[in-house]
Amino acid sequence: MRIEWTEDLALGIPEMDKQHQELIALINDFYNAVERGERDEGIRALFEGVDRYAVFHFSAEEAFLEQIGYPELAPHRETHAMFRREYLTAMERHEAGDRKAVRDLVAFLFSWLYTHIQKTDKRYSAFFHQQAG
């Protein structure tokens, strides 16, 4: 199932919105690869992409939150650490031959997009826009 970028995912912070769109593209690229019959390549690209994305996006987002003096930075960092743990567990399971690991990772990514962005990230967006107001 592909994901479409919609305004309910937008934070109104161009750099963060662009990075969130990159996560959506990673998931959609995986589905495109599977449809082309390139499941193994799609899985490899998904894991590599999520790994790169997590390192880059989380450090950029945390630096932004630090810069704006976001008071909930510590719990936000913990949600990022939880994402990394979940991702690494899925990767280990996949490498151990667990065929369900990829499906679980994709389900987690969907959930992350809609719960983390629409709830957790929207809180720092509101804080940012209130400060900029």
Smallest CA-to-CA distance from 2 within 41, 22, 31 is with 31
pLDDT grade, residue 114 (50/70/90)?
Answer: confident
**Does the residue 115 lie in any domain?**
yes
Please state the domain count of the chain. Answer: 1
| Residues 73-96: tens digit of each pLDDT | 999 999 999 999 999 999 999 999
Question: How much is the pLDDT for 60?
Answer: 97
Geometric angle at alpha carbon 15, from 28 and 129, rounded to 5°: 120
CA distances to 34, 65, 119, 128 from 26, in Å: 13, 24, 21, 27
* Residues 6+ positions from 98 with CB-CB distance below 8 Å: none
pLDDT grade, residue 2 (50/70/90)?
Answer: confident
**Does the residue 6 lie in any domain?**
no
Question: What is the domain extent for residue 123?
Answer: 13-132
pLDDT grade, residue 132 (50/70/90)?
Answer: confident
CA-CA distance, 82 to 85, in Å (whole number)? 5
| Residues 40-78: tens digit of each pLDDT | 999 999 999 999 998 999 999 999 999 999 999 999 999
CA-CA distance, 127 to 105, in Å (whole number)? 30
**Does the residue 1 lie in any domain?**
no
Question: How much is the pLDDT for 39?
Answer: 92
Is pLDDT above 80 for 1?
A: no
**Does the residue 3 lie in any domain?**
no
Q: What is the CATH number of the domain that holds 115?
A: 1.20.120.50
**Does the residue 101 lie in any domain?**
yes
**Does the residue 4 lie in any domain?**
no
Question: How much is the pLDDT for 73?
Answer: 97
**Does the residue 128 lie in any domain?**
yes
Specify whether the CB–CB gap between 113 and 21 falls below 8 A.
Answer: no
